[in-house]
Amino acid sequence: MKVPVSWLKEYISFDISAHELADRLALTGTEVERVGRAGLPATDGNLDRFVIGQVRSKAMHPDAAKLSLCDVDIGGGKTEKIVCGAQNFEDGDKAAVCLPGGVLPDGRTLEAAVIRGVESHGMMCSEAELGLSSEAAGIMILPEDAPIGGRLIDYLPVSDEVLELEVTPNRPDCLSVYGVAREVSAVLDAPLMPEPVEDIEPRGDDDVEELIYIEVADPDLCPRYAARIIAGVNVGPSPAWLKARLVAAGIRPVNNVVDITNYVMWSLGEPMHAFDLAKIAGNRILVRRAMAGEKITTIDGTERALGKHMLVIADNQHPIAIAGIMGSEDSEVSGETTDIMLEAANFSGPGIMASSLELGLRSESSTRFEKGIDPELVPKALAMAARMLVELAGGRLVPGQYDIYTGPPSPVAIHLREERIESILGLPIAGEEAEAILARLGFGVRREDSAMHVDVPTFRADVTREIDLIEEVARVFGVDAIPSTLPSGMRAKGGLSEHQAAERGIARRLADSGLSEVISYTFIAPDFADRLMLKDEDPRRRTVPLANPLSVEQSVMRTLMLPSILQTVALNLAQRNQDINIFELGRVYLPVSSEKLPLEKRTVAGCVCGSMRGESWTGGGRVADFFTGKGLVENAFAAVNGDFQVRRAGEPFLHPGKSAGIMVAGEPAGYVGEVHPRVLEAFGIDRPVTAFEIDEDALIGSSAGIVQFEDLITFPAAYQDIAVTVGLDTTAEEIISVVREAGAPLLRSARVFDVYKGEQVGEGKKSVALGLEFRSPERTLTDEDVDAARQKIILLLAERLNATLRA
Amino acid sequence: MNNLTEELKAHPGLSDIYGEASADVEAAADPESLEAVRVKHLGRKSPLLQLLRSIPKLPAEEKPVAGRLGNQVRAALEQALLTRKQELEESQLRERLAAEQVDITLPGEPFPRGHLHLITQTLWEIEDIFIGLGYRIAEGPEVETDYYNFTALNTPEGHPARSSHDTFFIEGHPDVLLRTHTSPVQIRVMEQEDPPVYIIAPGRVYRRDSDATHTPMFHQLEGLAVDENITMADLKGTLEVFVKSMFGAEREIRMRPHFFPFTEPSVEIDVSCMICEGSGCRACKHIGWLEILGAGMVDPNVFGFVDYDTDRVQGFAFGMGIERIAMLKHRMTDLRMFFDNDLRFIKQF
């Protein structure tokens, strides 16, 4: 909402600068985005270089047929020679003269110049040059009462400071200059002028009701509909001051009729509409919901299909306006219009908002109505607009009017307890002070001991409760006076839950292991399922789709983290980043058919691509592979003192031989594996990636809990290495499991430290070397103890796995 | 030793042996030659040993002196050998160490070093401040119902505040959406628990907006304190602790009245600009203050939705954008980099 300061001063006078006012408003609840300037720059005496001049003589330029050479009286006995290209003036016309050095709104500086051999000492300005309209063909002719030699700024608001306000949605009353003036009055404690709504006498012996019939069929969407008729208007350009005002407020001037309705809307906050009476078919207006299949072409030239719940203003044949949003092209006021029907109405906020959202069409009118505005503004707006139309467009107010009203809103009266103010704010504010503040804001206040009886004005429908009044008092009093304390009754204990602490531990461990954390958008492209080669029946193909995505690339919620991970890898490779080792703690979103909301599964995912240890003069890094990924998964589990098993994964997007399903307590909990080459191709990745994805709840749930002490010191362990030759298909897990069984109870751990395939062990065989640790909690083991255990292990390995001891 | 030398003057044989051996020890340049010196002068065939072995054959009156002197010479030589050996070893070690000198300006071993995302680091820092003040962390779903995201937060259908939220909706479920703020967690917690409640709720939120200063997904952290005597002064004090912990003890805050549907009164909190120290710069639009969060006293209507007794309890709530806090703290200029996931960005922090 742009509020030109000169306009504001019509309703309230104050001495402080616009910037000071902006600060005061900002601290009392009216945010000021910026204080700008509209029109001519005001710096360095620029405004003194724009004066009112009168053409004394206009002669042809000696060397240019299209130029004239003028003597222009600029007051104080001075006459300047000015070369002018426009033709629309004569001797005696008054014009806005820009003297050399003057800076125009577009930033251009006018210099004295020699034009076709003749010196020109200024410029007579067009409206376009002054930024008032796009009218550039001729100069702007000023009315006769313009004082010769006077500063233009003192005659026309061609330069104005403008407060750009960000009005919160609860305060539609401040979407008007008068409403802002009321705030300023309360904040500065300065008197407010009366509203500019003095009515004008009608003329003629006809009557509105003879000229038009109006009916409201849907009063639920239209609590009030009022209309007047102005006959015999001359539609044409508005006077310069009105254009200047509108331009400063950011509104494009159109013609006097439209400009006046806009001016009234800006002044009072009541949107209005002017219809060409001659274009209302059947002289009949019906305010009703649109009918199936109805369409309208709005004044912006767009044809729009109307929904059945949208309110329209219709004539005998078809809608001529979408109520409160935009009028139709074919009922628009034009140059031929002579009689107009002026509409001021009150439409239901939610109704306007729903229509506006559905049509994707917002206007200054709809942004006001959707917030719910005061129905009592209707007659005021009609009075103000009628007067201006008669005075500025030469019309006649036809006697009579329509005012179809479901009745004024029920009065709101609230009890405000003085002690309640302190108990909410933690700051006492005296009753007299609170009373004065509320009165300045337009509330009616009666004191009754320590309570106040407050009548809420109709323009403050946002105030319905005691707490709302406390806010009003607090903000105008100044919330900065509130002291700083901490809650006195604090007896809750803060902290992370076990799960939250574990989650942080996992993130920290993965980062410490060399992975960098990424955060990716949770909505992805729907073709992810095809790119991952998911089977048709894979439940992860069922997604939570967005109804209104920004793009198809971000249109479904992910059911797997992998697409996000691979996208990040591709992006980084495209940026020539090396070694893309990343993780993300995020959610996947799985629809649950019986539930409204999907299951949001927290997931720990990541990948390695390249080396974990960058190139270095101390030796290069190994290219990360499946076992790098598995090691990282092991680290994640170790972070929570948890454990997992693996089994061959059947994930279609992974390398079938280099991938594993992660199992926790016998249940699937994720995967780790090299990504399938075809999937990498689908994501535009040209090198191997090993990825993992773990269900976070399962991961944290695998925790063995608090680590229990074990005495590893008193009785030392005995260590033994063995190497056995087994078939190529025998897994490490199988070997370990046999070793554990045979080695119990003295065997404490068994770990594979070498695997060898080659000539020395023969075709179809491999050698696996294990480090064994034996330990007893009760005594130091003897060589005999260990030899016996070792012997049992070798025997069972031979029996179960056909393993032979390697010499 | 000098005494020994003095005494030996009367025993030229022993004196010669001692003199020659001492000179050889001094002259040995490395442990090997020193060993040869030892064999030569203290070995079984050495003149000294032979001399010592011949003592028993000496006349009885000479035996004690010769024995004593002979053994003293042997001890002195052994001591000299040991000292010399240590000297040689010491100098050899010095030489080796000197030869092993490295270029200490070469880089160290590149251990894998990962980075937590700046958002995570910022979130943890904020969380820890409030944990220190006695808050717990509550969490809630990102795919939310209209009821929790709007209605129960005093933003019923048709409320103008809804239109400013640019909401993503879920296809086929007009009342299901991606939460536009973390505030629904307030409602979910209050539905489950009786006061007092002191929680913060961090998480991802979504708005249908994408340009230089908006990403369709971002992070918020919500705070809620409900108890018997909570006032706006408590809100101010709490946020002052937060701001000073986060941005430095010299920072000030100010409250500006504002509007949110779920708080009344509502305020925005500004922090004194840490870039220009309040003198005015581009970051603070030359007003010396930076807006960092929204807050207020929980609206009684919200308590109505969760059946809290507004005669008995009142509370405050606040919400902040994590990206904004991180950007201010680290003077970041481009919001979108947070989610581009370019490792050059992530590894900076």
Give the pLDDT confidence of A103-112 residue by residue, as tens digits: 999 888 988 8
Tell me which residue has tokens 């009315």. A143
Gap from B103 CA to chain A (nearest CA, Å)? 12
Q: Which residues of A touch B294 (CB under 8 A)?
A: none
Gap from A469 CA to chain B (nearest CA, Å)? 9
For chain A, helix, strand, coil in percent to 5 are 30, 30, 40
Gap from A89 CA to chain B (nearest CA, Å)? 46
| B254·A480 Cβ contact <8 A | yes
| A484: nearest CB among B137, B216, B233 | B233
Residue A697 neighbours by CB distance under 10 Å? 14
User: Is the pLDDT at B63 greater than 90, yes or no?
Assistant: no
| A507: nearest CB among B116, B162, B261 | B116
Q: Which residues of B touch A516 (CB under 8 A)?
A: 114-115, 117, 343, 346-347
pLDDT the model gives residue A6: 93
Give residue-wise pLDDT tens across range A551-581. 999 999 999 999 999 999 999 999 999 899 9
pLDDT the model gives residue B284: 85
Closest A-chain CA to B132: A494
Question: Taking residues B39-50, what's their average pLDDT?
Answer: 89
| A548·B344 Cβ contact <8 A | no
Structural contact between residues B202 and B137, judged by C-beta atoms closer than 8 angstroms: yes
Give residue-wise pLDDT tens across range A380-403. 999 999 999 999 999 899 999 999
Tell me the pLDDT band of B164, cut-offs 50, 70 and 90. Answer: low
pLDDT the model gives residue A243: 92
| B217·A522 Cβ contact <8 A | yes
Using alpha carbons, select from A282, A290, A454, A268 the residue that is nearest to residue A346.
A268
Please give the helix or strand (H or E) that residue B190 lies within, else none: helix B184-192
Residues whose CB falls within 8 Å of the CB of residue A499, separated by 6 or more in sequence, listed in order? A700
Tell me the pLDDT band of B14, cut-offs 50, 70 and 90. Answer: confident
Q: Of B287 and A25, which is predicted with more confidence?
A: A25
Give the right CATH number for B118-346 from 3.30.930.10, 3.50.30.60, 3.90.1560.10, 3.20.20.70: 3.30.930.10
Strand order in the sheet with B253-260: B136-137, B197-206, B217-227, B314-321, B289-298, B263-272, B253-260
Question: Taking residues B197-202, what's their average pLDDT?
Answer: 97
| A353·B178 Cβ contact <8 A | no
Closest B-chain CA to A574: B342
Beta strand A523-524 pairing with A556-557: antiparallel
pLDDT the model gives residue A182: 95
Please give the helix or strand (H or E) that residue B123 lies within, else none: helix B118-132
Question: Taking residues B8-17, what's their average pLDDT?
Answer: 84
Residues whose CB falls within 8 Å of the CB of residue B82, separated by 6 or more in sequence, listed in order? none
CA dihedral for A223, A348, A179, A244, sign (positive or negative): negative
Q: Which residues of A touch B231 (CB under 8 A)?
A: 423-426, 485
pLDDT the model gives residue B165: 67
Tell me the pLDDT band of B2, cut-offs 50, 70 and 90. Answer: low
| B339: nearest CB among A515, A519, A618 | A519
**What are the two backbone dihedrals, phi and then psi, of residue A65, each rounded to the nearest 5 degrees?**
-65, -30
Question: Taking residues A741-753, what's their average pLDDT?
Answer: 94
- Tell me the C-alpha distance between A511 and A706, whole Å: 23
Structural contact between residues A659 and A672, judged by C-beta atoms closer than 8 angstroms: yes
Q: Which residues of A touch B300 (CB under 8 A)?
A: 465, 467
Identity of the residue numbered A244 = A
Tell me the pLDDT band of B3, cut-offs 50, 70 and 90. Answer: confident
Residue A306 neighbours by CB distance under 10 Å? 21
When scoring A370, A429, A471 by the number of chain B Cβ atoms within 10 A, the one with the most, hence best to mutate, is A471
| B112: nearest CB among A491, A514, A550 | A514
- How far the first Cα of chain A sits from its last, in Å, is 90
Structural contact between residues A227 and A209, judged by C-beta atoms closer than 8 angstroms: no
Domains of chain A: 2-40+161-188 (3.30.56.10), 43-157 (2.40.50.140), 208-405 (3.50.40.10), 412-480 (3.30.56.10), 498-701 (3.30.930.10), 718-805 (3.30.70.380)
Residue B39 neighbours by CB distance under 10 Å? 11
pLDDT the model gives residue B158: 74
Query: Which range has the worst mean pLDDT, A223-227, A689-693, A709-713, A792-796?
Result: A709-713
Using alpha carbons, select from A125, A122, A116 the residue that is nearest to residue A70.
A122
| B259·A483 Cβ contact <8 A | no
Q: Which residues of B touch A513 (CB under 8 A)?
A: 112, 114
Structural contact between residues A404 and A216, judged by C-beta atoms closer than 8 angstroms: yes
Counting beta carbons within 10 angstroms of the beta carbon of residue A423, is it exposed (0 to 12), middle (13 to 18) or buried (19 or more)?
Answer: middle
Q: How far is CA A295 from CA A214, A289, A353, A358, B68, in A?
A: 21, 12, 19, 14, 134
Largest CA distance in chain A: 130
| A548·B169 Cβ contact <8 A | yes
Q: How far is CA A430 from CA A128, A427, A555, A574, in A?
A: 55, 10, 56, 66
Give residue-wise pLDDT tens across range A241-282. 999 999 999 999 999 999 999 999 999 999 999 999 999 999
When scoring A503, A546, A581 by the number of chain B Cβ atoms within 10 A, the one with the most, hence best to mutate, is A546
When scoring B206, B241, B256 by the number of chain A Cβ atoms within 10 A, the one with the most, hence best to mutate, is B256
| B172·A517 Cβ contact <8 A | no
Give residue-wise pLDDT tens across range A669-705. 999 999 999 999 999 999 999 999 999 999 999 999 9
For B29, the token pair is 């340049």
Gap from B94 CA to chain A (nearest CA, Å)? 26
Which stretches of A618-708 are DSSP H helices? 626-639, 677-682, 696-701
| B344·A575 Cβ contact <8 A | yes
Identity of the residue numbered A391 = E
Please give the helix or strand (H or E) that residue A374 lies within, else none: none
Please give the helix or strand (H or E) that residue B136 lies within, else none: strand B136-137
| B265·A471 Cβ contact <8 A | yes
| B135·A494 Cβ contact <8 A | yes
When scoring B194, B209, B231 by the number of chain A Cβ atoms within 10 A, the one with the most, hence best to mutate, is B231
For B26, the token pair is 């001094």
DSSP one-letter code for A247? H
Query: What is the average pLDDT value for chain A, to the nearest integer?
Result: 93
Q: How far is CA A45 from CA A101, A102, A147, A152, B229, in A?
A: 10, 9, 20, 13, 58
User: Is the pLDDT at B60 greater than 60, yes or no?
Assistant: yes
Gap from A426 CA to chain B (nearest CA, Å)? 5
| A485·B208 Cβ contact <8 A | no
| A600·B142 Cβ contact <8 A | yes
| A482: nearest CB among B173, B232, B238 | B232
pLDDT the model gives residue A137: 82
Gap from B63 CA to chain A (nearest CA, Å)? 58
Q: Which residues of A touch B196 (CB under 8 A)?
A: 489-492
Strand partners, A416: A452
For B335, the token pair is 């919001």
Tell me the pLDDT band of B163, cut-offs 50, 70 and 90. Answer: low
Tell me the pLDDT band of A132, cut-offs 50, 70 and 90. Answer: confident
CA dihedral for B130, B135, B139, B142, sign (positive or negative): negative
Question: Taking residues B248-269, what's their average pLDDT?
Answer: 94
Gap from B256 CA to chain A (nearest CA, Å)? 5
Q: How far is CA B104 from CA A617, A753, A759, B197, in A?
A: 13, 34, 45, 56
Q: Which residues of A touch B113 (CB under 8 A)?
A: 514
Question: Taking residues B61-90, what's their average pLDDT?
Answer: 90
Tell me which residue has tokens 């299951």. A599
User: Is the pLDDT at A144 greater than 80, yes or no?
Assistant: yes
Structural contact between residues A243 and A249, judged by C-beta atoms closer than 8 angstroms: no
Gap from B66 CA to chain A (nearest CA, Å)? 57
pLDDT the model gives residue B31: 87
Closest B-chain CA to A598: B143
Q: Number of residue pairs across A and B with CB atoms under 8 Å?
A: 272
| A495: nearest CB among B131, B208, B217 | B131
| B143: nearest CB among A497, A548, A597 | A597
Q: Which residues of B touch A614 (CB under 8 A)?
A: 110
| A26·B256 Cβ contact <8 A | yes
Q: How far is CA A658 from CA A482, A534, A604, A676, A684, in A?
A: 65, 18, 20, 9, 21
Identity of the residue numbered A713 = I
Using alpha carbons, select from B328, B128, B129, B321 the residue that is nearest to residue B241.
B129
Largest CA distance in chain B: 132
User: Is the pLDDT at A807 greater than 70, yes or no?
Assistant: no
For A680, the token pair is 């990498």
The separation between CA A368 and the C-alpha centre of its own chain, rounded to angstroms, equals 19
- Percent pLDDT > 70 in chain A is 100
Beta strand A141-142 pairing with A444-448: unpaired
Q: Which residues of A touch B299 (CB under 8 A)?
A: 467
Using alpha carbons, select from A277, A392, A404 the residue that is nearest to residue A342.
A277
Q: Which residues of B touch A423 (CB under 8 A)?
A: 229, 231, 314
| A487: nearest CB among B131, B132, B230 | B230
Identity of the residue numbered A410 = S
| B257·A28 Cβ contact <8 A | yes
Query: Which range has the worst mean pLDDT, A408-417, A726-735, B282-291?
Result: B282-291
User: Is the pLDDT at A3 greater than 70, yes or no?
Assistant: yes
Residues whose CB falls within 8 Å of the CB of residue B96, separated by 6 or more in sequence, listed in order? none
- How far the first Cα of chain B sits from its last, in Å, is 69
Structural contact between residues B257 and A24, judged by C-beta atoms closer than 8 angstroms: no
| A479·B232 Cβ contact <8 A | yes
